[in-house]
Structure 1
Amino acid sequence: MARIAFILLCHKDPEAIIDQARRLTAAGDYISIHFDARSGKDKFDLIRAGLKDNPNVTYATKRIKCGWGEWSLVQASLYAVEAAEAAFPRATHFYMVSGDCMSVKSAEYMHDFLDDNDFDFVESFDFFESDWIKTGIKEERLIYRHWFNERSQKWLFYQSFWLQRKLGLQREIPADIQVQIGSQWWCLRRRTVEWILDFTRTRKDVMKFFRTTWIPDETFFQTLVRHLVPEHEIQSRTLTFLMFTDYGMPVVMYNDHYDLLVSQDFLFARKISPDATELKKRLGDLFAAKDVKFQISGEGRSLFKFLTGRGRNGRRFSQRFWQTESSLGRDRELLMIVCKKWHVAKRLVAKIKEHTDLPCVEYLFSEESTPLPDLGGIEKSLEKRTRHRRAWVRMLFDYFETDRMVVCLDSDGIELIRDFYNDRSSTRLLEIECEFSDDYLDGHAKRVGLAGDQTPADAMERLLPTIRSDINHEYDVIRDEEFENYERISQSNSPEENAAPIARFLQISEEDALKIAKTDYLFYD
């Protein structure tokens, strides 16, 4: 019968880790814990003391400091895997989990499932051919060396990156390795784990390569499994249920997600909210239960997409308390200016401030350095602003003591626009239609990392039409939505022609709107 050695990477909440370890080992399974060395020794000592009498618990051979996107996450996993492989010779499977994971099936179900499915479960898609990476750098993760952390050492990270690009310091991927990418939450058979550990000792060139790649926890195990295991023995999927928003943020599960989670075709789920105590208790009781029959529906991700795409208007589920509280307010009006050329929108906003008393906020969801008031820390990062966008904008309304406010959005922000239109507040939209010269698109490609100073001219000639098409597509998507209270001004129009839509958008006189439309050098690059 299958016996699982859980590989737990964690960094906080010792009591929760102790509870998780006790629960996961209660049915005869094992656990190997790596507790981040950034957390204090006293917390680690609490974990060891709480689990000292549990023979099915071991600890990574070495504790190291971990950072998101770094090799350290892979190294910590390997230390925990090495410890588990040595300590638990009866373990048949090794399953990666985090402190935010919870089982959504019984232990009995898990063992039967793994007995009946003799595969390695790991998401592994071709790094270059798949579209697994949605935003940010792609091949640059591999062909350049990354010594610094993008989150904690942002300046050093990008200075190193741009210097390597400028000097042409690209490196080759090991010739016999076809890099794969996928979720870090895998479940591997014992034989596969033994092969991987042997590989790490013999292929120092591959290990050296991966140590300086960016976000290797999404590529290392995924690549090695494909390299070592026959394809027909691999299921390219994770057994851990997780969902992401359109902005790349993990969806957090709460008490009312129980029925949805247990009906998914997965063994674990993440992220479970630390405050979801009722959910944790119910899932913990389920893990220890016997003879439970599960009705698998598997609608979780499609249901989430359906609901978030249309907003929670009560047609199927009522609003969650945090969504209700984060409504902008029925009596408020949000005026959104949409423009791909940020400098054009900023010039228009500066003129609006001169001729109206409307508070205006520039690219609050796109530009980290946008001038913002101190609102308790939520304004510190784009991630927080986007994740809590309605609550965040509501706080700005409160701060400015107003019921009308102007904000600027990039034309790629269709989901933001939809979300705000789904709110109970009133919403208006002004699109600024600009012309995009080849010189502008060339600079845009370099600013967003699609090209560099060394990019050949023929490559740029092929790239520019694609970028132009993508920008036009963003505007087409916005227009196809047929939003109410939608206005448009254009670079090809005269100030007099642009004044009328500005007047309707701001609800001011055409005389004042004309003064705004006549902004000097409004559309100049």
Structure 2
Amino acid sequence: MEAGFAVLAHRAPPVCQRLVRRLLRLGDVYLHIDAKVTLEDFVPSGIEHLPGRLHLARRRFNIRWGSFAMIEATLALLAEMRATRPYHRITLLSGDSYPIFPDRRMREFLCSATEAISCQPVTRDSRRVRTERIFMPDTTMGTLKAQITDRFLAPSDVPDLLAAIELLQTRAEFLQRNPVHIGGQWWSLTGEALGRIEAFLQANPDFTRHFRYSAIPDESFFQTAFMKAVPHPERRVASPLHIRWDTKPRPFVFLLPEQITDLRASNKPFTRKVAEESAELLDLLDAEANSEA
């Protein structure tokens, strides 16, 4: 059963290079490098002997935190993957993630029928404002955390503004039909589940339009589509990534070799975020890759 990995990278090039090498032992890697950074810094060399194949994204997006460009980059990678071969499982990862499981245990997970994605309803959650209101996508005004003096509309933003006004009139009815679910951005889904999500998106083009004009859609787009499109969505498990949110700043950044104890105890296949200077920690994880644990 073939596994594919969709990787979105924008920071920590040394970690990304090591991640790609590890993943290529397990399957094919489709790598999107943010348009703001230098592509060559993230692409590892000497991978010709590894069993997996590395594919660089044909189109690179300028991704800003909380923008729909994150979804566009993911959808573009998925389209390239579907056009290449029918993967049993596709896992979406950040370039600063890393495998925790040894390879044998990882292959067991990748060959399983488990759907791993975090989805929580937000009907009574303060975060529902992200979709109840209209947010301008990828414009100066729509940039989250922008300076007050930078929040303005340019003439090129007018089509987005008119489209947003039109969508606002149908947003309440859309949310009734599509109860929003929220969760961590990163997931690992079977090809069957992703096929159902693709069919749902094609049959419901308004779904993508509405989420384009929402805030932080990477934490709700696939989660909501999964709950709508996949039979028995309650059988899923949570996100396959171990991410700690109990520190400030958040999330916690893994750096030191002794933190491998925390990673092992998580019982998760992957972790995030990994520091750029974490070579000793990654050496330990790599040393365990061929173990029988």
TM-score (norm 2): 0.82
2:131 maps to which of 124, 134, 142: 142
**Separation in 1, partners of 2:224, 2:249:** 23
Question: Is the CA contact (8 Å cut-off) linking 1:173 and 1:209 kept in structure 2?
Answer: no
Answer whether contact 1:122 1:236 (CA < 8 A) is retained. Answer: yes
CA contact (8 A) 1:60 1:81 kept: no
Alpha carbons of structure 1 residues 51 and 78: separation in structure 2 relative to 1, 3 Å: farther
1:46 to partner: Cα distance: 5.2
Structure 1 residues 155 and 190: alpha-carbon distance in aligned structure 2, compared to 1, 3 A threshold: farther
Residue 56 (structure 1) aligned with residue 15 (structure 2): no
Q: What SS is found at the alignment partner of 2:22?
A: helix
In the alignment, structure 1 residue 110 sits paired with structure 2 residue 106: yes
CA contact under 8 A between 2:33 and 2:42: conserved in structure 1?
no
1:259 partner amino acid = T
Q: Residue by residue, what CA displacement relative to the aligned partner does 1:2-28 show, whole Å, maximum 9, x if unpaired?
A: 53211111013444433321121124x
Q: How does 1:405-420 map to 2 (within 5 A)?
A: none
Equivalent position SS for 1:94: strand
Aligned ranges for residues 482-497 of structure 1 at < 5 Å? none
After TM superposition, the structure 1 = structure 2 runs for residues 30-41 of structure 1, keeping only pairs within 5 Å, are: 30-39=28-37
TM-score by length of 1: 0.48
Alpha carbons of structure 1 residues 19 and 253: separation in structure 2 relative to 1, 3 Å: closer
Quote the Cα distance in structure 2 between the aligned partners of 1:107 and 1:178: 38
**Do the aligned residues in 2 keep the contact of 1:127 with 1:179 (CA within 8 Å)?**
yes
Q: Is the 8 A contact 1:37 1:66 kept in 2?
A: yes
Bigger Rg, which one: 1
Deviations 1:406-427 (A, max 9, x none): xxxxxxxxxxxxxxxxxxxxxx
CA separation in 1, counterparts of 2:58 and 2:204? 21
Q: CA RMSD in A?
A: 2.7
Which structure 2 residue ranges, 5 or more long, are not aligned? 137-141, 154-167
The alpha-carbon distance between structure 1 residues 189 and 110, as it changes in their structure 2 partners (threshold 3 A), is: same
In structure 2, how many angstroms separate the alpha carbons of the residues matched to 1:259 and 1:250?
18
Asked if 1:192 is matched to 2:193, the reply is yes
Partner of 2:62: 65
Distance 1:62 1:52 in 2: 22
Q: Distance in 2 between matches of 1:156 and 1:180?
A: 31
Distance 1:79 1:259, change over 3 A: same
1:81 to 78, 81, 85: 78
What whole-Å deviation, never above 9, does each CA across 1:275-307 have from its counterpart, x for those lacking one? 1211011112222x1422xxxxxxxxxxxxxxx
**Structure 1 pair 47–156 and aligned structure 2 pair: CA distance change class (3 A):** closer
Q: Which residue of 2 aligns with 1:120?
A: 115
Q: What is the Cα deviation at residue 199 of structure 1?
A: 3.0
Q: Which residue of 1 aligns with 2:260?
A: 258
> What SS does the corresponding residue of 1:243 show, helix, strand or coil?
coil
Q: Count matched residues.
A: 271
Quote the Cα distance in structure 1 between the aligned partners of 2:94 and 2:151. Answer: 27
- How far apart, CA to CA, are the structure 2 residues paired with 1:243 and 1:280? 18
Q: Does the C-alpha gap of structure 1 residues 235 and 86 become closer, same or farther in structure 2, counting only changes over 3 Å?
A: same
**How far apart are 1:192 and its partner, in Å?**
1.4
Does the 8 Å CA contact 2:13/2:276 hold for their aligned counterparts? no
Q: How many angstroms apart in 1 are the aligned matches of 2:208 and 2:96?
A: 28
> How far apart are 1:207 and its partner, in Å?
0.8
